[in-house]
Amino acid sequence: MSTTLITGASSGLGAEMARQLADRGWDLALAARRIERLEELRDEIVAKHPGRRVELRALDVTDDDQVFEVFRAFRDDFGTIDRVVVNAGLGKGAPIGTGRYDANRQTAMTNFVAALAQCEAAMEIFRDQKRGHLVMISSVSAMRGMRKTVTTYAATKAGVAALAEGLRNEMLGEPDLDIRVSTIYPGYIRSEMNERVTKTPFIVDTRTGVAAMVDAMEKEKANALVPAWPWVPLGKAMRHLPLPLVRKIM
C-alpha cells in the first residue's frame, strides 16, 4: 500500500484531497494544526474504507523543528512515504504600504518559508529512500503579479512554483534518484479559505476542483493548471498578455 502525506489536511482542499486519495486506495499521513478536525476526517475515511490506514499529527508548518519531527515520525510510522503534498497555506493579505505588513508577512512565512521547510523535510526522506513524489500546491495567481490584497499571496505562490521547478531541474541530473516533482496550479475552487468571497469568475465546487488536482497528481504531471477549462488557455494567456489586459481577467 502506498502512502501520501498531506499538510493543511484539516479542512478545505487538503481534507478533500485526503477523501479522494483514500477512495483511490492510498493510505494517509495527515497533518494540520487542528487535530480534532483531523480526527473527524480520519473517522469519516475509515468508516467508508475500513482497510485504509490513516495516521495523524498536529503540525504548525511555521515551526521549522516541528515540520522535520512530524515528517520523520510519519516515515517511521509507515516505513516509507511515497508522496508528500505541500498544501498548507494562508490567504491573508492587504495592499502593500497600507499598514498591514503583519498580514502580508504571515502569508509569506506560511506560504513560502514554511513550504521550503516542508520541501527540505520531504526531500530528506526521498533522498534516503531514493524515490518519492513531491507535489507543490501553487495557484493560477502565480502566473503574473497580482494587485491589492492578492499581491503577497501571488508572489508566494510564484515562489513555490520556482522552488518546485528548481528541484525538478536538479532531479533531471540525478539518474540514481527516482524523485518526481509536480506543481499544481489550482484555479478558483470553493473552500473555507474563500467561502466569503463573492462574484468570483469560473469558480467550481470543492469536490470538482480537487478531483482535477488529484488526477494531475496521479498522472505525476510536472505542471498542471486545474481544472483544465478554462485555466489551461487562461494561464497561457496570462503569461503573455499585456498587464492592462491581465487586470481585466484577474
Residue 192 confidence (pLDDT): 65
CATH of 3-249, one of 3.40.50.1950, 3.90.700.10, 1.10.486.10, 3.40.50.720: 3.40.50.720
- pLDDT, tens digit, for every residue of 95-135? 999 999 999 999 999 999 999 999 999 999 999 999 999 99
Average pLDDT, the chain: 94
Torsion of CA 13, 208, 119, 59, to 10 degrees: 20
Residue range 169-198: average pLDDT? 86
pLDDT band at 245 (very low <50, low <70, confident <90, very high): confident
The answer, yes or no, to whether residue 42 has pLDDT greater than 60, is: yes
Residue 249 confidence (pLDDT): 77
Contacts of residue 77, Cβ cutoff 8 Å, sequence gap at least 6: 29, 55
Residues of the chain with pLDDT > 90, as a percent, come to 86
Residue 191 confidence (pLDDT): 73
Provide the grid cell at 52.
485504509
The answer, yes or no, to whether residue 22 has pLDDT greater than 70, is: yes
Residue ranges per structural domain of the chain: 3-249
The answer, yes or no, to whether residue 169 has pLDDT greater than 70, is: yes
The answer, yes or no, to whether residue 154 has pLDDT greater than 90, is: yes
Q: Which of 101, 153, 185, 188 is catalytic?
A: 153
Other Cβ atoms within 10 Å of 111 Cβ, number = 27
Where is pLDDT greater, at 246 or 53?
Answer: 53
Residue 193 confidence (pLDDT): 57
Residue 153 annotated to the active site = yes
pLDDT band at 29 (very low <50, low <70, confident <90, very high): very high
Residue 159 confidence (pLDDT): 98
